[in-house]
Amino acid sequence: MKLEIGRLSNIPPRDAWQHEARDFTPWLSENLDQLGEVIGLKLEPEGVEVAVGAFSADILARDMQGRLVLIENQLDTTDHSHLGQVLTYMSGLEAEIVIWIATEFREQHLSAISWLNENTADSFAFFAVRLRVVRIGDSAPAPMFDVLGRPNAWERQMQQVVREKTGESSAFAEGRRAFWRRYLERYPEDAALGVKETGSPSNWLIPEGDTQMVVSIYRAKTGVGVFLRGPRGETPAETQARLLPHAQEFERLVGVCKHIGDDDNHPVDSIDIDMDDHENWDRAIDWMHERGHAFLDAATSLFGAENAESERTR
């Protein structure tokens, strides 16, 4: 019997995932093994849409040495905006490995990845990964990850990391866990609202009822903050559109709040404080708890009532 050989063809990635945040990011977070195989890392998800100030990083993962891995997705050709986001998120999350995924890479952005790999400390690694989607005949679409940029002698670096096991990144994660542990010591009741001891820089406060809103509280090296966001996959512009009818009342309830009406950001409040100094932690935690609950109460009051009314009129 003659063996039938199919023809491999490329299809547009958006035929497989129509929406980057709602479709591709959740899929990738559940299939990091496929990405890890081509990078040479075993990846475990830490979070999706992780807070970095008023912005959200697509995926935060951790490798088997405990290092934080930032993954930024783009179902499009690379642009300067996403390059800036990558560097901002990397700094805010203290990630050591960055994986930038896009359907096409401009030459200047590949050059930027190469420059970063050559001019940053050896503990940092930057990857440029092109996403393609292929199928044979009418088969299910399959992702293909092409590594276009990586650190020089990456495999040798990985072997050295495994041998040394410095634990530096584990120390970062343990510092975050210690902070959230201290938070829960001061406010144990917030565990019922979603706060947990984690190596992530952020936590969520979940309002009662079906508000379709989440209050994110976060810590960074230079401060802490709180912001209002929608469910996973909702853009800042979509959250702002839902907030618009309640904007004045929300401001009245929470007080100081930046970026209301700004489609590129979530409504946020933050303070500058040196988080490397553990003596500042209690003050930061008290501020975070007070402001987080102000946002939480406002979201429950405004959006809980709104959704309850929608249910009654169905």
Asked whether residue 1 is assigned to any structural domain, the reply reads no
Residues 138 and 177 in one domain: no
Which residues on adjacent β-strands are paired with residue 205?
215
In a shared domain, residues 198 and 57: no
268 and 145 share a domain?
Answer: no
pTM comes to 0.57
Same domain, 13 and 155: yes
Q: What local confidence, expressed as pLDDT, does residue 158 receive?
A: 57
Residue 78 lies in a domain: yes
Do 32 and 101 lie in a common domain?
yes
83-124 pLDDT per residue, tens? 998 998 888 888 899 999 999 999 999 999 999 998 888 778
Say if 2 falls within a structural domain.
Answer: no
Say if residue 216 is in the same domain as residue 308. Answer: yes
119 in a domain, yes or no? yes
Task: Based on the fold, state whether residues 143 and 206 are members of the same structural domain.
Answer: no
Q: Is residue 270 scored above 60 in pLDDT?
A: yes
Q: Domain boundary at 164, 198, 232, which?
A: 164
Confidence of residue 43 (pLDDT cuts 50, 70, 90): confident
107 and 63 in a common domain: yes
Number of folded domains in the chain? 2
What is the residue range of 209's domain? 168-312
Q: Is the pLDDT of residue 169 over 80?
A: no
Which among 164, 198, 226 is the end of a domain?
164
Which of 103, 132, 164 delimits the end of a domain?
A: 164
Are 131 and 71 within one domain? yes
3 in any annotated domain: no
Question: CATH number for the domain including 39?
Answer: 3.40.1350.10
